Chain A
Amino acid sequence: MKHFYYRLCRSPLARFRQEVCRIVILFCMGISLTGFSDPKHQAPNTIELNLKNVTVREALREIERQSHYNFVVNHNRLQILNKTVSLNVSDNKIENILNLLLEGSNVTYTIRKRQITLIPPSPQSSFIPVSNAGGVSSVDMNTETYASAKFFLTVQAVKGKITEEDGTPLPGVNVLEKGTTNGTVTDAEGMYSLNVSSAESILVFSFIGYLTEEIVVGNQATIDVLLKSDAKTLSEVVVVGYGTQDKKDVTGAISSVKGSDFENLPVSSTQQALQGRASGVTIVRSGGEPGNSGSIRIRGVGTVNNADPLIIIDGVPSDGPLGDVNPNDIESVEVLKDASASAIYGTRAANGVVIVTTKRGKFGQGLKMSVNGYSGISNRIKSIDVLDAPTLATLKRERYTNDGLAIDPIWEDASYQTQRTNWQDELLGQGTVNNLDIAIASGGEKSTFSLSGGIYNEQGMIKNSYFKRYSFRINSDHKISDKFKIGQSLQLTNQTGTAPNTLSAQDGLVWSAIRFHPGLPVRNPDGTYSSSQISSQFGDINNPIFTIDTQDRRSGRARILSSLNGDLELLKGLHARANVALDASFSDYREFNIRVLDQTRTTTNNSRRISSSKSYSLLQEYFLAYDTEAGDHDIGVVAGYSQQTFDYSDMTSQRKDLPSEDPSQRYLSSGGTITEALETRSYDALQSVFGRATYGLKDRYLATVTFRADASSKFGPNNRWAYFPAFSLGWRISEEPFFQGLTNVISNLKLTGGYGELGNSNIPRLQYLSLIGGGYRYSFGGGQTLGSAQSSIANANIAWERAVMTNVGLEAGLFGNKILMTLGYFNKQTKDMLLAPPSLGSNGTASIPFQNVGQLENKGIEIEVSYRKSVGDFSYSLGGNMTYLTNKVTELYNGNFLPGPLYGRSSSEISRTYVGYPIASFYGWKTDGLYQNQSEIESDANISADPRKDNGQITPGDVRFVDLNGDHVIDDQDRTIIGNPTPKFTFGINATGVYKGIDLSLFFLGAADVDIYNADRMQGIDPTYPFNMYAETINRWHGEGTSNSIPRMTNNRDNLNHRTSDMFVESGAFFRLKTMTLGYTLPQAISNTVHISKARFYITGQNVFVITKYNGMDPELGIIGANGFVSNSQINVDYAQYPQARTWTIGAQLSF
């Protein structure tokens, strides 16, 4: 019976019923699914009043109802409350509404957090302008002073218009003559007029959320001002999991990057643009090909397995890459770095959380349209100098002579000693990048929308490599009733692309171009491609231009990311919210491999291969959010339920030996032998219950407690559920009474600290089962036979990996928040680390399951600093962030090590992960120059007992390896850690300046105290390969004193001169002008004539210059290699992968 019941529950019908059940609950909970975009965040709390002949008292109630504000009034003294008013306004600035409401009266008010106190007129009241000075959250206004100002003696009338950066008029801006109480506010059109006392008067324009401007009046009658929004003000709202928080109340470690910081950069993915923009966040990229956006690492590599953070796009956790989102659609990216901030996403948050919020329309906003377009070209930054054909032949002959062998005749053949082709020049051409996107946004009283569409098209430097994305987005919000709102987001993307293989040291394309014989032409006189089939002396490389010209492969992916959310206000401050989302991807991959007989790497039969996959992820989340304030106590609670299912299926088909290779016949149905027809399917699910409570006392003492319980189908029934608690505390020191004397210097000071645990289940599924694979091929008597064997071994005890994090942060604003600083320390201990230990050969080839057998430690310090200032028409800002990080493995299975993948033909082991050292450290021999003569060999203690010495196998010009274990023999026991692939310091520096219509921004990126293993050079100067060599090989040892670093030419490997050693470990430190943008905005007087509210033109350079000692192509790229399931078993190794380009684009931004 139990079994039957079980079956029933597993049936599709049951799944359907379960979905129905969810939807029913959805309806019970309010038919009002809203997402977790907190109302505070959606167009920061727009208040709409449409009142006719009501009392002010009633109007205040309405404001209370629509907002989170509470009014404190003294009824007896406030006659105005009974005054009848009519009002029709929609605004998100409470001050503007209050100013309107209280207009004509002499009542003032203060806003302290959510509490607004109406103050009856008093004789002492004075005008204090709104200031965005940090920590001053109160606003006093006395409209009476405005009136009295009119009676001042004036000599000059000034008027003008105040606008936002995008040209929108700003109503309610305070305009004050400096040093006086003479002032006014702008009207609904952003217009103001004011009489000032002299030409020396300085006008101060200030508005909450914007940078204050000061302008000398001079002889100007019209002063139009563009106020820049102040992204760093303390009123900033930060998106946190399942809600938003005021930045000043945040106690966790969160870095926020505004979309405007990276708009219109010529990159395919936001991920690339994030590099260097937030402390503790690094983007590691293994190649620069179009569409390769790299991986995000938050506070170090957190685990040897998949260390990618969780990405949440508009509330939907997804595995999909950020490259699907048009970077210009993004409002902000929040990176949750510590346990307290991330714990609400417990399950998948061990490696941090990245929350992407896209742009939405705003209530009460007019129709706005913007068009962005840019176009540019990309070129290679550097190539590797290689030998020319005559020199190559010379060195090859020297090799034979040194070895006492007859010279292979091909090296005497003059026809191959003419320099013909620089293969890197042929391969690395010019790429292009083009982008166009159009966005329309509008908001009425009840509904808003934003609509955008874009096309991004990047053609790489290497022919036949490209990335093209079409993106389309609709976001809208609707007020169904006063208490019920719904919102929706829909993202449609379609991307296609392809790139050559550049990750192999056997047939990688850039690798091949460095090594292909320089004496061969691209094409022979008869039009065919040249080939190394001529001689095995030329190596088993195919002509790289042939390879890329004939490559026929394409991958495509369409994705629908759609969410619907609702918010029902049950009681004041209590909201029931729901979020349902579908994330569906449809991918396909097609390739046709032609028959190749005249290149060294032949393909005897042509083949067509296609694979397509579908994945559906369905998310449902229901939660309650409650916020209240009682006296000094400020309480917020979020609690809810979440589940997400992941269905995936794919099919792969392949035929070989198709009858025709004509492009129109490269289809499976054209015929040939079916060699593959595979189907896979998988289902996984996550189920969670979560809660968070925040508490603030006197706006000074803050606390956050978070808890999440998660279950994942990736673990066996006994280990499914895990619990992740976290807490953090904050102390706003600058709010303390004792601190008040210091606030003119330190305007804001906050200390935070936290502790928490997070989980990671980024591992292949079904590790708790031992599986039989059925695809092992053999042939009996010419037939096609399949065999079955164990493909994976089970680990019944597999359980969650945990990251335990401790965190301390200090946030400071100096000199009226002109300088903002945050300082953070973190200590992240990864426990029960999931890794598949290297298997003994005696286990055969079945995959070893993940086991909870490791510990890892990431510790570090993060600093973010920014400074901004305006001097007359010139305003500038400087910002920087720096991260210091150490990574250390503290425990591994049985105290053993994890091997890295083997490199190239020589199967060199480059990386190993050992306890006590950084993950994937370089592991090899230490060297001490070259032996210059025989007597050095005879007297060298390193090899005094080495039989190779007595056999004459070590000769002058060979490398002197250091005997580390003291046995006077050089062997495997003499290896040690020789380098650290993870940068200890990473930093980004941002500088912007604006002068009138001209803007310039520079963004620098750098890393220090990091090593790169230049594996390509290890092979590039190794004469035992039948390939071309690096040009520096000309400086090889060829007699005493000729070189102490580049070994002699020999084909003899007795001394293994080019084994993994410190000779190939280089500093990976670099400093790069990553992007530079110079823009010009047309004066409005001109742009308005063609009905454009703003027109900006700009030129952007990407990877403008780099300062580095690194000899390879690019210090910013390094292969991240997997060995079996261990994804991070090799880091920062140079395989001559697809390099990054230097890109220059010109673009235009138009707003209507």
Chain B
Amino acid sequence: MNRIIKTIGSCLVICFTFVQCDDLLESTSYGSVTSQQFWRNGDDVVSAVNAIYEPLLQENYFGHFERTWDIQSDDMWRAGDHAEDQAIEYFTYDASNPKLIDTWKWRYEMISRANAVLINAPTVEMDENLKNRSLGEAYFLRGFSYWRHYLVHGEVPIFLEADVLAGNLNKEKATLAEVEAQIESDFTKAAELLPVSYQGDPDNLGRVSKGTANGFLAKFYVYTEQFQKAITAGEQVTQNASYALAGSFEDNFKIDSENNTEILFSMQYTSNWTTDNTPQIYTTPRPWGGWDFREPIQDLVDEFEPTDPRLDYTVFKVGDMVDLGGDAGIQEYTADLSTSGFHFRKFASWKDGGLNADQNAPILRSADVYLLVAEAKIRLSQSGDAELNAVRERNNLTPVSNATMEDIMHERRVELAGENERHQDLLRWDKAGLIDIVAFYNQDRGPLKPARTFQRPKHYYFPIPQRELDISNGILVQNENY
């Protein structure tokens, strides 16, 4: 008995001696690094910056959802078969509308990724130029996210580096002025830090540049009616050959030339790598592989001057011949392909009978900045003819002299149709007293675009998603008009 107890005893002693050494319970995060281990070098910083761009391609963000707001405009009807879009189009949406939740989340995800770079990159030992570029990209993309928040929701909570470090991620909304100040600050810093251009650097084509930041600054200043600043920022683009308008309008929408100098910012897609759920699949006809959302309506087509070549490259209309490639070959665009008789062409291309997912979608083009500078000048009672005509002349249209806001409104509508600008332009002009948006949207534009009731100021902004309010424990307060 004693012998046995001793044997067992000594065994247990041996056993636990080994157990002491043994790190049985130590686990490792094989294949992914912890945030403490990251930020080792310039490669890590560039990789972290790349990730800030990634949400742009998300179907539930810029790929589709964020572009849905423009169905409120007079350019298009919602088409598609998502019932919540009808509520958006007809101004009957509420705070539970599913389009609100994801776009809100993705904007903050971009902000969160940008904040991580802004917190960590400054202390990483790396090439200074690369570091400046990276910080510039992070500032720009954060500013861009707040810009989108500002357009869609107005007042939103602002999270910056200090909030992240303090773990403070449930905050009250900032005022409109605070949001504006943040956007201006981020875009301005980005404009200082970013390189002029990536032309000639094919591996980095598509990154944001000084031109991108200045273009958005110009847009921001026009929206906030700081026209002189808008002109100063905008001219950084219009007067720099690096951002020259493309030779032809359609170059901006062709895969071969989709990264030309005019493209200041675009969603960069590559087939078999990024998602297939792009603006392209949403705006093309079903029998041709698309999902048939956001069809242009006759009202937009009628806006084009008879000789404006842009119409052909903006919409498909009955009788157009379209090359789908492969066995499908060249097919005629027929009336039964759409409800309105039209589809947007800007984002569409086919290969081997299917959609070609290499197609990018622009977010900001120099042409937009030209028209913004022209608008700023006109609204300062200066002449905007030069910038306006630069856009018109590219399309062989007769120059306008003593251009008015009406000319600008027309030109912006036809130049930027389908590029998610129209509804925001109309809101901006209504706020400035240039148009009456209530009356404008109350016009009956046919069965697909009946008269709708826009309530001012409620419908300037969307409500904060209901679930965010529910979860925030009372810290987030709903937009006062909802």
Give A residues with C-beta under 8 Å from B.
6, 9-10, 14, 17-18, 21-22, 24-25, 28-29, 405-406, 408, 532-536, 539-540, 570-571, 576, 595, 597, 600, 602, 604-605, 622, 624, 641, 643, 645, 656-657, 673, 675, 679-685, 687, 711-714, 720, 765-766, 769-774, 776-791, 794, 838-846, 894, 896-897, 899, 902, 905-907, 909, 948, 951, 953, 971-972, 1024-1026, 1051-1054
Complex CA–CA separation, A843 to B286 (angstroms):
37
Check if B273 sits within 8 Å of A779, measured CB to CB: yes
A-contact bits for B438-482, CB 8 A (1 contact / 0 none): 000000000100000100000000000111101111000000000
Considering the complex, give the chain B residue whose CB is closest to the CB of A947.
Answer: B455
A residues near B57, Cβ cutoff 8 Å: 777-778
Chain A residues contacting B33 (CB-CB under 8 Å) are 771-772, 774
Residues 53-64 of chain B, each 1 if its beta carbon lies under 8 Å from chain A, else 0:
110110000000
A284 to chain B, nearest CB (A): 26
Kindly supply a per-residue 1/0 record for chain B positions 37-57, scoring 1 wherever the CB is within 8 Å of any chain A CB and 0 otherwise: 110000010011111111011
- In the complex the two chains form, is A844's CB within 8 Å of B111's CB? yes
Q: Which residues of B contact A771 (CB under 8 A)?
A: 29, 32-35
Question: Is A570 in contact with B81, judged by CB distance below 8 angstroms?
Answer: no
Question: Does B302 lie at the interface of the complex (its beta carbon under 8 Å from any beta carbon of A)?
Answer: no
Q: Which residue on chain A has the smallest CB distance to residue B3?
A: A570
Closest Cβ of chain B to A807, distance in Å, is 31
B272 interface hit (Cβ, 8 Å):
yes
CB-CB under 8 A for A778 and B54, given A842-B159, A1053-B83: yes
B162 contacts A by Cβ under 8 Å: no
B322 at the interface (CB under 8 A from A): no
Q: State A843–B109 Cα separation when bound (angstroms).
A: 7
Of the candidates A9, A533, A645, A1024, the one whose C-beta lies within 8 Å of that of B83 is A1024
Given contacts A25-B11, A787-B51, contact A781 B355 (CB under 8 A): no
Determine whether B155 belongs to the interface, using a CB cutoff of 8 Å to chain A. Answer: no
CB of B77, distance to nearest CB on chain A (Å): 12
Q: Are A788 and B48 in contact (CB under 8 A)?
A: yes
Q: B8 contacts the other chain (Cβ, under 8 Å)?
A: yes
Q: Are B8 and A29 in contact (CB-based, < 8 A)?
A: yes
The 24 sampled A-B contact pairs (Cβ below 8 Å) are A18-B18, A29-B11, A533-B286, A533-B287, A540-B291, A600-B286, A683-B30, A685-B25, A687-B19, A687-B24, A720-B25, A769-B29, A776-B51, A785-B50, A840-B170, A841-B465, A844-B110, A905-B81, A907-B101, A948-B92, A972-B95, A1024-B86, A1025-B83, A1054-B92
The residue in chain A whose Cβ has the minimal distance to the Cβ of B453 is A951
Docked-complex contact A779 and B268, CB < 8 angstroms: yes
Known: A408-B339, A656-B272, A845-B106. A774 touches B203 (CB 8 A): no
Segment from B204-212, B375-383, B400-408 that makes contact with A: B204-212
Determine the chain A residues whose CB is within 8 A of the CB of B32 once the complex forms.
771-774, 791
Give bound CA distance, A771 to B105, whole Å: 20
Residues of chain B within 8 A (CB-CB) of A843 are: 108, 112, 169
Residue of A nearest to B295 (CB): A536
Q: Are A845 and B23 in contact (CB under 8 A)?
A: no
Chain B residue nearest in CB terms to A645? B24
Q: Is the CB of B25 within 8 A of A687?
A: yes
Q: A602-B354, A685-B25 are in contact. Are A781 and B202 (CB under 8 A)?
A: yes
B274 touches A780 (CB 8 A): no
User: How far does the alpha carbon of A761 sit from the alpha carbon of B34 in the complex, in Å?
Assistant: 22
Contact present for A894 and B47 (CB under 8 Å): no
Closest 7 CB pairs of A and B: A787-B51, A907-B98, A787-B50, A781-B205, A844-B109, A28-B11, A789-B51
Residue of chain A at shortest CB distance from B326: A597
A842 and B169 form a contact (CB under 8 A) = yes
Chain B 358-384 against A: per-residue CB contact (8 Å), 1 yes, 0 no? 100000000000000000000000000
Please give, as numbers and ranges, the residues of chain B lying within 8 Å of A605 by CB-CB distance. Answer: 271-272, 276, 354, 357
Q: Is the interface of A mostly helix, strand, loop or mixed?
A: mixed
Say yes or no: A769 contacts B15, CB within 8 Å: no
Cα A533 to Cα B328 in complex, Å, equals 15
**A838-B92 Cα distance, complex, nearest whole Å:** 27
- With A24-B14, A713-B25, A766-B27 known as contacts, the answer to whether A841 contacts B105 (CB < 8 A) is yes
Contacts of B159 in A (CB 8 A): 842
Answer whether residue B104 sits at the interface, using C-beta atoms and an 8 A cutoff: yes
| A902 to B467 CA separation, bound complex (whole angstroms) | 12
The chain B residues found within 8 Å of chain A, CB to CB, are: 1, 4, 7-8, 10-11, 14-15, 18-19, 21-38, 44, 47-54, 56-57, 79-84, 86-87, 90, 92, 94-96, 98, 101, 104-106, 108-113, 116, 157, 159, 169-171, 198, 202-207, 259, 268-274, 276, 281, 286-287, 289, 291-292, 328, 336, 339, 353-358, 447, 453, 465-468, 470-473
A675: B residues at CB distance < 8 A: 272-273
Q: What residue in chain A is nearest B476 (Cβ atoms)?
A: A840
Kindly state the separation between the CA atoms of A789 and B28 in the bound complex, as whole angstroms. Answer: 19
Assess the B268–A781 pair: CB atoms within 8 A.
Answer: yes
Residues from chain B with Cβ under 8 Å of A839 in the complex: 471
Q: In the complex, what's the smallest C-beta–C-beta distance from B164 to chain A, in angstroms?
A: 10
| A564 to B216 Cα, complex, angstroms | 71
B354→A597 contact, CB < 8 A: yes
Q: Which B residues touch A24, using CB under 8 A?
A: 14
**Which residues from B are CB-within-8-Å of A532?**
286
Q: Do the beta carbons of B22 and A713 come within 8 Å of each other?
A: no
In the docked arrangement, what's the CA distance between A788 and B202, Å?
21
Q: For B23, give its contact among A6, A951, A953 (CB under 8 Å).
A: A6
From B24, B82, B84, B204, residue with most partner A Cβ within 10 Å: B24
A971-B358 Cα distance, complex, nearest whole Å: 43
Q: In the bound complex, do residue A897 and residue B470 qualify as a contact, i.e. CB atoms below 8 Å apart?
A: yes
A841 engages B29 (CB within 8 Å): no
Known: A533-B286, A605-B271. A841 touches B104 (CB 8 A): yes
Q: Which residues of B contact A683 (CB under 8 A)?
A: 27-28, 30
**Within 8 Å CB of B292, what residues of A?**
536
Given contacts A788-B47, A789-B113, contact A782 B29 (CB under 8 A): no
Q: Are A907 and B84 in contact (CB under 8 A)?
A: yes
The docked-state distance in angstroms from the alpha carbon of A766 to that of B27 is: 8
With both beta carbons as reference points, the residue of chain A lying nearest to B354 in the complex is identified as A604
A784: chain B residues at CB < 8 Å are 270, 273
A771-B34, A774-B32, A787-B50 known; A779+B270 contact, CB < 8 A: yes
A181 to B302, CA, bound (A): 113
Chain B residue at minimum C-beta to C-beta distance from A673: B272
**Contact indicator A597/B289 (Cβ below 8 Å):** yes
**Minimum CB distance partner of A568 in chain B:** B4
Give the distance to chain A from B291, nearest Cβ to Cβ, in Å: 6
Give CA–CA (A1052, B90) in the complex, Å: 10
Candidate in A22, A624, A766, A841 with the most chain B CB atoms within 10 angstroms: A841
With both beta carbons as reference points, the residue of chain A lying nearest to B56 in the complex is identified as A778
B4 near A570 (CB under 8 angstroms)? yes
B109, A657: Cβ atoms closer than 8 Å? no
User: Are the CB atoms of A788 and B51 closer together than 8 Å?
Assistant: yes
Q: In the complex, what distance in Å separates the CA atom of A571 from the CA atom of B29?
A: 47
From A10, A782, A894, A899, contact of B26 by CB (8 A) = A10
Smallest distance from the beta carbon of A777 to chain B beta carbons, Å? Answer: 6
Q: How far is the CA of A87 from the CA of B146 in the complex (A)?
A: 93
Q: Is the CB of B8 within 8 A of A787?
A: no
Closest to B275 in A: A777
Chain B residues positioned under 8 Å from A1054 (CB to CB): 87, 90, 92
Contact B466–A406 (Cβ < 8 Å):
no
- Could you tell me the distance in whole angstroms from the C-beta of B199 to the nearest C-beta in chain A? 10
A914 vs B86: C-alpha distance in the bound complex, in angstroms? 32
A776 touches B473 (CB 8 A): no
A788 & B87 in contact (Cβ 8 Å cutoff): no
Which has the most chain A C-beta neighbours within 10 Å: B11, B51, B157? B51
- A787 and B52 in contact, given A597-B289, A769-B29 (Cβ under 8 angstroms): yes
Set of chain B residues within 8 Å of A687, measured between Cβ atoms: 19, 24-25
Q: How far is the CB of A607 from chain B (nearest CB, A)?
A: 8
Asked if B53 contacts A787 (CB within 8 A), the reply is: yes
CB distance from A778 to the nearest CB of B (A): 5
A1053–B86 touching, CB < 8 Å: yes
A673 and B61 CA atoms in complex are apart in Å by 26
